[in-house]
Structure 1
Amino acid sequence: MKTTASRSVGVWTHAREPRLFFVEHLPAAQVRFQFTGGPAEPPVYVLVYITHGSGSLTVDFEQYSVQPDRLFFLLPGQVGCAQLSADVQGLVLGFSAEFYEERFPDFPLAAYPFFSNFHPPLLDVRPPMEPLLPLLQGLYQEAAGPAPQQLEVSRSYLHVLLQLADRHYRRAHPLAAGDNPQVAAFEYLINRHFRSQKVLRDYADQLQLSPNHLNALCRRVLRKTASDRLHERIVLEAKRLLLSSSQSVGQVALTLGFGDASYFGRYFKKYVHVTPEAFRQQQRA
């Protein structure tokens, strides 16, 4: 397969100055929006709609095929790489949480299951689904030039787009935690506090549940325990930091709230089966 560029690894971020909101065409967007090293500032949420072409997109160590009518959802801080065919076409939409939630504070981005660190970052868009591509095209036209109330109209387009994507995503991914409010709340708390709270009881207390009840609930909804979910999030962030930052293993341990680098090394190896340094070397090889 002919690709547009060699494999690159890093954090999904804007390659030039970040903007609060933008819509661009592929392949032109590949020049200015790509996987690069370093954190996204400000954090940018991204939707990539593929209309033509092929390839692969690796997001947080999981590889997904690129194909027409596939919509990808990318979070700030995710790591990965892209290998795209030379004929790839599509639309790339990026926006900050502030841009969206200023108008729609009652619809936080964390409530959408596709903007989660736990669920698949893609949706296959097939008829008779709602017209997600026309909405993206409308956003592109709206953003193409100055117009009265341009930002407000763009926010409205974006809200409808996310709401319709949410409807179809929940049908396509029935195990998404958003289908159960208690599990969704648990995952929200994990994302906010996993660096400082690593004991399941802390989360159960906030949800006014017993740890056993929370474990049973997650096992029924997610087919894994609440403890498994918590450990997955900690390990995922450790992998991201080891791959995308220049921090030492000891510094990564401190960033994640581990007071002892040796304990962090044992914890990481328990779930990944290699040491943190070995993992870093394997991924960068």
Structure 2
Amino acid sequence: MQAGLAGVPVFKLYGEGSDWPTVDLLHCETISSRSQLYGWEIERHRHSDLWQLLYVRRGPAELYVEGQHTRLEQPAIQLVPALSVHGFRFHADIEGYVLTLAAPLVSWLQQELGVCAPVLQQPHCFPVARGGHYLDSLFAAIAEEYANPAPGRDVLLRSLVCALLVWLSRQLPQGEGPAERPERGSQHLQRFGALLEKHYREHWAVSRYAHQLGVSTAYLNGVCRRQTGHTALQLLHQRLLLEAKRLLVYTTLNVNQIADQLGFSEPAYFIRFFKRLTGQTPRSLRQP
């Protein structure tokens, strides 16, 4: 956990540290699996680079998202974009799922979804008046695939999430666009994240990112620290490390090939980088 704006904590997953806990670009769990650990109440917090979809199949539940309080008695899906302050209170009989999407996956989804992409931009609560059986099947399929890795897993999970977001986008009133623009610091963080996703393999210096954004290096680092609790360089390293783990788990590339694919000048430099951030060597991650 890192201190955030106005004392609102910033988590990866609620109650956990700053490390993303999986090599996947999404995380799926039942609502009860985490909330029961905290007395069925998730206190207000933010995620700097994660989007969440909360599917309440059976409530009641109370949602607090960006100052708006919603009490759910009927099935609904709450979308929580990155940086949105949110908290939840659940009944012990709650049923449903929490789907968390990492920024690289969201970036890919925005490109793939086209006209449906705006659904990801603002918090929104979607009543599930119709389509409950479809959504039950969709979330169950995501949860099953997430829990039981099999060949083609990454492709199938992306396809299932795409189907979910297309369904959500069709529930928005026609012509409804994004609400108010985010504040300036959040805009710069979003633009930095988009640039990082394009160029992290090129090992740009933080000063180059700042120049591309038209801000100073000190300003960019300040925005990153305030919004995420990390420096710009730490965010760059986190992205490289996540991709390294994915290549180690999901491909047969050797360490030298992975180092080259990630832009490291020498494999030894990559190995030192990996060990410094994880405490283990790349090869040890592959060992059962």
Matches within 5 A, 1:152-231: 152-168=155-171, 170=172, 173-174=173-174, 176-177=176-177, 190-191=181-182, 194-195=184-185
Quick one: percent identity of the two aligned structures?
A: 19
Residue in structure 1 matched with residue 13 of structure 2 by the alignment: 14
Paired position in structure 2 for 1:65: 71
> Which residue type is aligned with residue 137 of structure 1?
A
- Paired residue for 2:81, among 72, 75, 85? 75
**Which stretch of structure 1 is more off in the superposition, 126-135 or 22-31?**
126-135
Q: Equivalents in 1 of 2:72, 2:28: separation in Å? A: 19
Cα contact 1:12–1:76 (8 A) shared by 2: no
Aligned residue for 1:55?
Answer: 61
- 1:55-134 to 2 correspondences below 5 Å: 55-102=61-108, 105-107=111-113, 111-113=117-119, 115-117=120-122, 121-127=124-130, 131-134=134-137
The structure whose residues are more often helix, as a share, is: 2
The equivalent of 1:40 in structure 2 is 47
Matched residue SS, 1:86: coil
SS at match of 2:162: helix
Q: CA RMSD in A?
A: 3.8
Counterpart of 1:153, as a letter, is L
Partners of 1:72 and 1:196 in 2: how far apart? 21
**Contact 2:109 2:162 (C-alpha < 8 Å) held by counterparts:** no
Contact 2:113 2:166 in 1 (8 A): no
* Distance 1:109-1:130 versus aligned 2 partners, 3 A rule: farther
Structure 2 length as normaliser, TM-score? 0.51
What secondary structure, in the 3-state scheme, does the structure 2 residue paired with 1:76 have? coil
Q: Structure 2: which 5+ residue stretches go unaligned?
A: 1-7, 188-225, 230-288
CA distance in 2: counterparts of 1:108 and 1:39, whole angstroms: 27
1:216-255 correspondence runs (5 A): none
Correspondence for 1:29 among 34, 40, 43: 34
Find the residue that maps to 2:145 and give its secondary structure.
Answer: helix
Shift of the 109–144 alpha-carbon distance from structure 1 to 2, 3 Å rule, reads farther
Q: Residues 51 and 90 of structure 1 are in contact (CA less than 8 Å); yes or no, is this contact kept in structure 2?
A: yes
Aligned AA (2:97): L
Which SS does the other structure have where 2:113 is aligned? coil
